[in-house]
Amino acid sequence: MSTHVRYSVIIPMYNEEAVIQETYRRIKKVMGATGEAYELLFVNDGSTDNCAQMIEEYTYWDESVKLIDLSRNFGHQIAITAGMDYSLGDAVVIIDADLQDPPELILDMIREWKNGYEVVYAKRIKRNGESLFKKWTASLFYRVLRYSTDISIPVDTGDFRLIDRKVCEELKRLPEKNRFVRGLVSWVGFRQKAIEYERDERLAGETKYPLKRMIKLSLDGITSFSYKPLKLAGYLGGLLSGAGFLYLMYVLYLALFTDAAVKGWASMIGITLTFNGFVLVMLGILGEYVGRIYDETKGRPLYIVQELYSGRKQQSAAEQRAAQLNKS
């Protein structure tokens, strides 16, 4: 195989033992059809099953397979980042290990890349095998994100995409801890094109993005690219304060200039609770931003690589990284 890598395929995985063999087979078949040199970078994000051991065995006899074994679970977006840091290809493809995104679409992405596009992303026109709640919340998230941010982040897209080497290098310069990769790809710009497809249901296993993780990803996306929630807090706070002041004037008028008893203390309690709830929500929004500032100031690395496996040789993370840089 040529020492120059044309394509790098990043496959983050977390407890994908049930599907990883089929994932390897299908991606291997697709990349073999290109007739060009490639590498498959499997990033183990702290899995507790045997998927990492299975990929490690592949590295013994398949020189195109590399395993980046992280020391613990750092999260899907960080696993993608680790793959980009160790990739060598002229074009870098990101695809999840669960096979909901068809690897065969990679060939279409490569064709568009060769036509001059630096980013080719997959846009979902249909999501098979997902609940109505999941579809509705995903659709709502993308549209709220589009409204909230000042950059154009395509709706109904995930991390399944191809990026040019120059785009990958620019992304590696962005150090933020709470990463939203698809948003960062939009932020760096370059020529981008969408390819539409129908997303398949999972071949096996369970989703690795339950509601809790979806909410965190949503917050990372919104807080990383917009401060509109803070502006909205100011607008709503001013509106509610104005309404409260007018009501206070009404109460004073009744007390000073009429004999009518001031009524509605039950409603006053309701208004007070509403205001207090609003204040707590706004404090929560502020806390999200402050927490992210705190994460940035700590200066910790995004991830820690426990081992790297490539070919028949197992090396430390530092040795493997140095070897890769020397080759490039």
Which of 306, 308, 304 lies closest to 66, judged by CA?
308
What's the pLDDT tens digit per position in 285-301?
Answer: 777 777 777 767 777 78
Taking alpha carbons only, the member of 164, 116, 160, 112 closest to residue 7 is 164
Is there a contact between 275 and 240 (Cβ–Cβ < 8 Å)?
A: yes
pLDDT digits (tens, 9 = 90+) for 73-95: 888 889 999 999 998 889 999 99
Whether the pLDDT of residue 305 is over 70: the answer is yes
Question: 27-48: string of b/e by CB count within 10 Å (b at 16+)?
Answer: bbebbeeeebbbbbbbbbbbbe
As a whole number, mean pLDDT of residues 26-53 equals: 90
Q: Please, what's the b/e burial string for 81-106 (b: 16 or more CB within 10 A of its CB; e: otherwise)?
A: bbbbbbbbbbbbbbbbbbbbbbbebb
**Of 266 and 103, more confident:** 103
Output the pLDDT for position 1: 41
Q: Give the pLDDT confidence score for residue 60 in this predicted structure.
A: 86
pLDDT at 304 (0 to 100): 87
Positions of E strands within 58-156: 65-70, 91-94, 119-127
E-only strand ranges, 71-134: 91-94, 119-127
Q: Please, what is the angle between helix 165-172 and helix 181-188, to 10°? A: 110
pLDDT for the residue 114:
92
- Residue whose C-alpha is closest to residue 172's, from 95, 92, 82: 82
Residue 318 has pLDDT above 60, yes or no: no
Find the helix or strand (DSSP H, E) in which 161 lies: strand 157-164
- DSSP per position, 204-255: SS--S--HHHHHHHHHHHHHHH--HHHHHHHHHHHHHHHHHHHHHHHHHHHH
The tokens of 227 are what? 């401060």
- Is the pLDDT at 222 greater than 90? The verdict is no
- pLDDT range class, residue 120, cuts 50, 70, 90: very high
For 70, the token pair is 């992280």
Give pLDDT, residue 67.
93
- Average pLDDT of the residues in 148-164: 78
Q: What are phi and psi of 121, to 5 degrees?
A: -115, 155
Cα atoms found within 13 Å of the Cα of residue 83, Cβ hemisphere only: 33
